């Protein structure tokens, strides 16, 4: 069985792992958004909605783990924007912690605010900041 060089390259750089983690984070977010949408439409499972704060905490923990892994990969490869990227992660986590502290045991609207904030930031960050790292990696491989 022949292994494609691009697959080896992605594995070595950590991009494959990061992409897998991004997909997992987005999958969790979609699940939370679906529970919220059902609740907002009056069709929600009260038990699922009640467990949302815990699920949000799990998601934020997963984001923290992902950020550490991503930062390690960037540092290892000498990414010139690694510190800027790390700072963006830090600002995001501070904002999330503040939002969660304000929310406490949120009502439906508060939960929606948290999920929307997480989803919006991650989509923008992955689409712009992480893309810059991917482009850096591709330029180094040439």
State the pLDDT at residue 1. 35
State the pLDDT at residue 84. 94
Contact criterion met (CB below 8 Å) for 117 and 95: yes
CB proximity list for 103: less than 8 A, separation 6 or greater: 53, 110, 111, 113, 114
State the pLDDT at residue 138. 82
State the pLDDT at residue 124. 87
In a domain, residue 95? The reply is: yes
User: Which residue range forms the structural domain that includes residue 92?
Assistant: 54-142
State the pLDDT at residue 44. 67
In a domain, residue 33? The reply is: no
State the pLDDT at residue 65. 93
In a domain, residue 77? The reply is: yes
The DSSP output letter for 79 is -
> Any alpha helices (H) in the chain, and if so which ranges?
5-13, 15-40, 46-50, 52-76, 82-103, 108-125, 131-141
In a domain, residue 39? The reply is: no
What tokens does 57 get?
């905490």
Q: Could you tell me the mean pLDDT of each successive run of 10 residues in the chain, 142 residues long?
A: 41 68 90 86 73 88 93 92 95 93 78 90 85 86 70
Q: Among 9, 4, 7, 3, which Cα is nearest to 141's?
A: 9
In a domain, residue 30? The reply is: no
State the pLDDT at residue 2. 38
Q: Give how many domains the chain has, as a whole number.
A: 1
b/e map 56-78, b = 16+ CB within 10 Å: beebbeebeebbeebbebbeeee
What pTM was computed for the model? Answer: 0.81
């Amino acid at each position: 069985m022949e292994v494609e060089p691009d697959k080896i390259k992605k594995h070595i750089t950590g991009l494959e792992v990061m992409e897998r983690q991004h997909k997992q984070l987005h999958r969790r977010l979609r699940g939370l958004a679906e529970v919220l949408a059902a609740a907002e439409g009056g069709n929600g499972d009260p038990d699922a909605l009640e467990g949302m704060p815990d699920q949000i905490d799990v998601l934020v923990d997963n984001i923290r783990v992902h950020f550490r892994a991503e930062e390690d990969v960037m540092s290892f490869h000498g990414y010139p924007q690694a510190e800027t990227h790390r700072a963006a992660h830090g600002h995001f986590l501070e904002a999330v912690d503040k939002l969660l502290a304000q929310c406490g045991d949120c009502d439906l609207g508060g939960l929606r605010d948290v999920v929307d904030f997480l989803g919006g930031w991650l989509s923008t960050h992955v689409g712009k900041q992480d893309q810059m790292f991917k482009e850096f990696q591709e330029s180094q491989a040439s």
